Amino acid sequence: MTNCEEKMTRSDRCAELIAKIETRTARIGVIGLGYVGLPLALTFAKKGFSVLGFDTDQEKCGHIASGRTYIRHIPLEPVKELIADKSFEATSDFSRLTEADCILICVPTPLTDKRVPDLSALINTAETIARFLRKGQLVVLESTTYPETTEEELLSRFASNTMQPGIDFFLAFSPEREDPGNKDFSVTSIPKIVGGITPACREAADTLYSAITRTVPVSSARVAEFAKILENTFRSVNIALVNELKILAHRMDIDIFEVIEAAATKPFGFMPFYPGPGLGGHCIPIDPFYLTWKAKEYGFATRFIELAGEINTLMPDYVVTKTADALNRMGRCVSNSTILVLGVAYKKDVDDDRESPAYPIMKKLMDQGAAVSYNDPWIPRLRPTRKYDFTMASVPLNEQTLASADAVLILANHSDYDIQFIIRHARLVIDTRNATAGMKTDTCTIVPA
């Protein structure tokens, strides 16, 4: 290190980093190349930055090196082009973090079985960064977590007598807002909330994200962390509300989807949410409980979050009960019945099965003696998850498969599904997604669930 570098002031380091970002000479490092990290890395590369992706999964790095994508809704051609012109590279060698000017953390933050935040991946990442952190670098946490995490878990590991935030390095939180498979919104069209540990940290992070989208600077990392939790808690609570009302509507023989569509015609004061077989994805079923856990530290009970979680968690049981009741009316019981599940992805048209309600539904049906198979054009084979390990492959969706099933459960309404074909050849359809709305059949019994 030169004497000139040692004498750099806080404003000098910040100005130098901002200049690198504005001239696209800053190199971006993205840790975690999953559903959040890979699109983010590709976006920065497309905007003219040199991007270095990091992942502990060497298979992912190998796919990228070969110009292949392992996430189906991400197009293949951009990956090939960015690899070819050396704008994007992936590695499992974390010592190369020193090459990055800006390091973005996109690692999983799941819950344990007891609904306690599991920050092991984040803490391991923070400790790795701390070993290679150099002066002038910006580190931004994107993984969703409880307020104060950036300070408690990252700042505590990065700051030292020789490395001070806002002076020697820059630390911020900017929550990911990915919606896998949503063609209407992408990284470049979704505003980025940015909160820094210091004003200089916020300025550096704001400059970085301004290069790819509109930013929303806030006063602190805590505010940014809380904002993301609020977004997902809002969805969780409202989905729980319509799930509960769905059960009531079924008992009253009222179509809850028709009710929601009618209410949604009000041009103010109402936002439509839709019921389903349970919550899925890495955000909505998990993130609100990060706040619940943190709130206990302040002696506060988050009752709305707990109640919403209770309702949403019970929805798979409701689907199983509706299936059993429907089979009973057909003169069969769940035990020894053949049940075909359509869609194990947590929502339509994605290959993302994280926290999918299909898994507890399948497990509960199997526990009651059912022979369960599945079809999902997006997920040809089930992969082990934190809770489940089904050794299954997707079966063909044809006339014979449908006709041989005692019940067909629609859990994800993929665009690939020809619903009219399904009800033409199935005997009993349990519809959790309103996929059969308005369709007529003389041969198939359709049960909303």
Q: Which residues contact 348 (CB under 8 A, 6 or more apart)?
A: 181, 412, 413, 414, 415, 433
**pLDDT above 80 for 121:** yes
For 35, the token pair is 């559903």
Range 159-167 contact pairs with CB under 8 angstroms and sequence separation of 24 or more:
163/133, 163/135, 165/197, 165/198, 165/201, 166/10, 166/14, 166/196, 166/197, 166/198, 166/199, 166/200, 166/201, 167/10, 167/13, 167/200
Where residue 292 falls among pLDDT bands split at 50, 70, 90?
very high
Q: Measured between alpha carbons, how far is 312 from 352 in angstroms, rounded to an integer?
A: 19
**pLDDT above 90 for 65:** no
- Which residues belong to CATH 3.40.50.720 in the chain? 3-223, 262-448
Task: Please give the angle made by the CA atoms of 39, 238 and 303, to the nearest 5 degrees.
Answer: 110
- Give the active site residue among 14, 102, 201, 283: 283
Reported CATH class of domain 3-223: alpha beta
For 334, the token pair is 């769940």
CB 440 within 8 A of CB 446: no
CATH number of 262-448: 3.40.50.720
Count of residues in the chain: 449
CB 393 within 8 A of CB 372: no
Query: For the segment 366-422, what is each residue's pLDDT rounded down to a tens digit?
Result: 999 999 999 999 999 998 887 898 989 999 999 999 999 999 999 999 999 999 999
Relative to beta strand 170-173, strand 192-196 is antiparallel
Report pTM. Answer: 0.91
**pLDDT above 90 for 440:** no
**pLDDT above 70 for 34:** yes
Where residue 281 falls among pLDDT bands split at 50, 70, 90?
confident
Query: For the segment 175-215, what is each residue's pLDDT rounded down to a tens digit?
Result: 999 887 777 888 889 999 999 999 999 999 999 999 999 99
Where residue 9 falls among pLDDT bands split at 50, 70, 90?
low
Where residue 11 falls among pLDDT bands split at 50, 70, 90?
low
Q: Which residues contact 314 (CB under 8 A, 6 or more apart)?
A: none
Query: What pLDDT does 10 receive?
Result: 52
* One-character DSSP codes across 148-174: THIIIIIIHHH--SS--BTTTBEEEE-
More confidently predicted of 405 and 1: 405
Mean pLDDT computed over every residue of the chain: 93
φ, ψ of residue 111 to 5 degrees: the values are: -110, 155
Among 4-18, 71-85, 290-304, the least confident range: 4-18
Per the annotation, the verdict on 201 as an active-site residue is: no
Where residue 46 falls among pLDDT bands split at 50, 70, 90?
very high
Average pLDDT, stretch 339-343?
98
Tokens 């900017």 -> residue: 174
Query: What pLDDT does 76 receive?
Result: 67
